[in-house]
Amino acid sequence: MLEKKEILDVEKVIRDFEVLTKDAENVQRETLKMILEENGCAEYLQNLGLNGRTDPESFKACVPLVTHKDLEPCIQRVADGAFSPILTGKPITTISITSGTTQGKPKFVPFNDEMMETTLQIFRTSFAFRNKEFPIENGRALQFIYSSKQIKTKGGLFAGTATSNVFRNSQFRKAMKAMQSECCSPDEVIFGPDFHQSLYCHLLCGLIFHEEIQLVSSTFAYSIVLAFRTFEQVWEELCDDIREGVLTSRITFPPVRSAMAKLLKPNPELADMIEKKCSGLNNWYGLIPELFPNVKYIYGIMTGCMEPYLKKLRHYAADVPLISADYGSSEGWIGANINPSLPPESATYAVLPNIGYFEFIPLKENVEEHMQENGNVSFLSMEPKPVDLTEVRVGEEYEVIITNFGGLYRYKLGDVVKVMGFHNSTPELKFVCRRNVMLAINIDKSTEQDLQFAVEEAAKLISKKKLEVIDFSSNVDVSTDPGHYVIFWEISGEVSDEVLTECCNCLDRSFVDGGYVSSRKVDAIGPLELRVVRRGTFQKVLDHYLGLGAALSQFKTPRCVGLTNNKVLQILCDNVAKNYFSTAF
């Protein structure tokens, strides 16, 4: 077992959290004051005329709501090495690069020590609540984490994915040890240049320490599912490595081979045991607890676009609890999961009021009230006024606006959340979807959530055949008249044309947006098209993004592809094996 290390005082973390959330309104005012005092000399704020004022009223009156496009010139100047303070008072030394899978183009986001500290506070808070429910005692974690290469910008700043910036930070390593969540894989594996090799070695390390593994995790549920899908293909090779104590020749990077050689010793008994367990499993059900008998839970982001992977993850996990990780983005953290016993589909996130200043744009305003005040025309062009953290209402949906210590001020995150309740005076949020990911042709507005629902409904038809949708994406094809929705599916086996035609009709019927339904009925939108792609197609999509510098830890399959990611659309179209058109309307 691992030697005893300094352990996080979880009771103190919870007490501190309770104090913060009992007076969230004042904590928010103080947090904004700190942000503006620290960065008041920044050119961006100076130009907006705050003149040293730090109260929320002056802040909102002077500082506009922005998107990344608005801040991009300032961020680029920072990356290019501008000497004067542009967005923050203290110099920015690191840039986070988003994956680019949502919008099709990676973005630069400032990252600094303060942002690292908010990351650690989120991790400590959720761990404290999680460890009360599922205590980990001096064990190891099988963490499928991968760090992309850090590059240097024109101005000499280190730039990498947000996860890479965190993984490379010494404070993060120290914190993970204090939480008894030390990764069983050596650094050389985490920071290896080829994710295929790193993934194989993660699995091998997990098997070597199989009795000590108490936690299986990754940033996203997708990465965990990918890991065990890979295990299905390579388990015999892993057994050979363990039996002989010699690493497979597929691992070619010398530092990784050297690090693994220190761990890998001949162990025929372990190899025989793994072989027996794998041979006895029914379609790999319960694979994770079979391999790691002392695992307490499986942890990672499992909401939003990760929900489609939960069915497969539960298949591997059997009765092992799935716990959704905290809510944030490359731009900053928002809330911690303080109710770990809830299933991922019901996960909520309590906003930490001291890690940033938060506002929320209501998505359902009282139309009649606005029409009375402003008239029909002006109402249609108005964006509802944002409300503060403690002013949100239970049951309502909002778009999140963040102001943080890293130089983002009144930044529209693009996330839609629903307020499910309050913990003391801070709201508990449920992630709903990305606001700007949608299919639209006529008056229809189908969100990522709508797409996910349609796929889940149609996939039930092939689940009867013991098959599954491995992954999916979509596109709006306007080369036809009228335009129509295209859904791409990768399926785990062969399905008859009859069943797939039925799936196609089900997909079409399951888009319940009123604009879509009415447009289909009058032929303003054409019949939905289902395109079944060859096995391995979505692996090619992943490889494409990894080739652009994305990290597997941060990868999300793009659910809607179009003009901003033509290469991905080309990969999907080039690998279509069959296509079907709906006759549902």
Q: Do the Cβ atoms of 189 and 254 come closer than 8 Å?
A: no
- Does residue 536 fall inside a structural domain? yes
Average pLDDT, the chain: 86
Phi, psi dihedral angles at 84 (to 5 degrees): -75, 155
Position 373 scores a pLDDT of: 43
- Say yes or no to pLDDT of 375 above 50: no
Residue of 246, 238, 239, 240 whose CA lies nearest to 263? 246
Mean pLDDT of 446-470: 88
Q: Do the Cβ atoms of 523 and 482 come closer than 8 Å?
A: yes
Q: Do the Cβ atoms of 569 and 117 come closer than 8 Å?
A: no
Could you give the percent of the chain with pLDDT greater than 90?
A: 50
- Does residue 461 fall inside a structural domain? yes
Q: Which domain holds residue 490?
A: 448-581
141 pairs with which residues across the strands? 183, 215
Residue of 428, 284, 281 whose CA lies nearest to 349? 428
- Does residue 101 fall inside a structural domain? no
Q: What is d(CA 483, CA 525) in angstroms, rounded to the nearest whole number?
A: 6
- Say yes or no to pLDDT of 27 above 50: yes
- Domain end, chosen from 320, 342, 374, is at 320
Quickly count: other Cβ atoms within 10 Å of residue 1's Cβ.
9
- Say yes or no to pLDDT of 211 above 90: yes
Are 302 and 153 contained in the same domain?
A: yes
Position 439 scores a pLDDT of: 81
Q: How confident is the model at residue 436 (pLDDT cuts 50, 70, 90)?
A: low
- Does residue 496 fall inside a structural domain? yes
Mean pLDDT of 244-270: 93
- Say yes or no to pLDDT of 4 above 90: no
- Does residue 363 fall inside a structural domain? no
Position 77 scores a pLDDT of: 87
- Say yes or no to pLDDT of 243 above 70: yes
- Does residue 64 fall inside a structural domain? no
Position 102 scores a pLDDT of: 54
Q: What is the pLDDT of residues 499-520, one digit of tens each?
A: 999 999 999 999 987 778 888 8
Q: How confident is the model at residue 427 (pLDDT cuts 50, 70, 90)?
A: very high
Position 31 scores a pLDDT of: 95
- Domain end, chosen from 266, 287, 320, is at 320
Position 353 scores a pLDDT of: 95
- Does residue 524 fall inside a structural domain? yes
- Domain end, chosen from 262, 294, 320, is at 320
The mean-pLDDT minimum among 301-315, 363-377, 559-573 falls in 363-377
- Does residue 346 fall inside a structural domain? no
Mean pLDDT of 153-181: 69
Domain count, the chain: 2
Q: What is the pLDDT of residues 319-333, one digit of tens each?
A: 999 999 999 888 889
Q: What is the pLDDT of residues 95-112, one digit of tens each?
A: 777 755 555 567 788 888
The mean-pLDDT minimum among 78-82, 219-223, 347-351, 407-411 falls in 78-82
**Residues sharing a CB contact under 8 Å with residue 250, sequence separation 6 or more, in sequence order:** 197, 200, 237
